[in-house]
Amino acid sequence: MELTVGTILEGKVKSITNFGAFVSLPENKTGMVHISEVANAYVSDIRQHLTEGQDVKVMVIGNENGKINLSIKRLEAKPQRENTGRPGNGYRGGAPRQEGGFQPRSGGSGYQNRNSGRAPVQPAAPKTADQLFEEKLKAFMSESDSKISSIKAYSEHRTKSRRR
């Protein structure tokens, strides 16, 4: 039986290491599940997820030079991302953005929706690749100009202090 990428198999955990688990497959073959392919969540200790002798369902994700790479997590449904307020989740800060944005209250802390009591704002049409490129280029040029200005100011400051 040829183990091609995407094949789903039943196997048994043969041994566990700090970096993954070796799984016995049909026809006396062995594959490895890397620790990053065990679960959709971060896995710091693989032994909290797998035990030796455990039956597992795995997917072949690579088969090169006789080394069979397996995944357990690719057979699980991906969990919905929670908005935790951490960078990389699509927004910054602790509160998710709502349509219309937020505006500080006059009392100081907290936020209030600017569109309270108004009809909902229609979302903008998706931007074309050219528009996205132009925005990125504009942001890059602005950042670049800012860096160059600070370098020039520093350089001028150093030459003035040498003359004294």
Every domain of the chain and the residues it spans: 8-75, 127-164
Share of the chain above pLDDT 90, in %: 32
Q: Is pLDDT larger for residue 69 or for residue 77? A: 69
Question: Can you tell me the mean pLDDT for 32-59?
Answer: 92
> To the nearest whole number, what is the mean pLDDT of the chain?
78
Widest CA span in the chain: 83
Q: At residue 87, does pLDDT exceed 90?
A: no
Pick the CATH number of 8-75 from 1.20.1260.10, 3.40.630.90, 2.40.50.140, 1.10.3720.10: 2.40.50.140
State the pLDDT confidence band at 30, using cuts at 50, 70 and 90. very high
Task: Name the residue with higher pLDDT: 113 or 143.
Answer: 143
Of the chain, the percentage scoring pLDDT greater than 70 comes to 68
Q: Are 8 and 58 in contact (CB under 8 A)?
A: yes
Measured distance CA(163)–CA(140) in Å, rounded: 35
The sign of the CA dihedral 97, 98, 100, 105 is negative
Between 97 and 36, the more confident residue is: 36
In this structure, the number of other CB atoms found within 10 A of the CB of residue 23 comes to 25
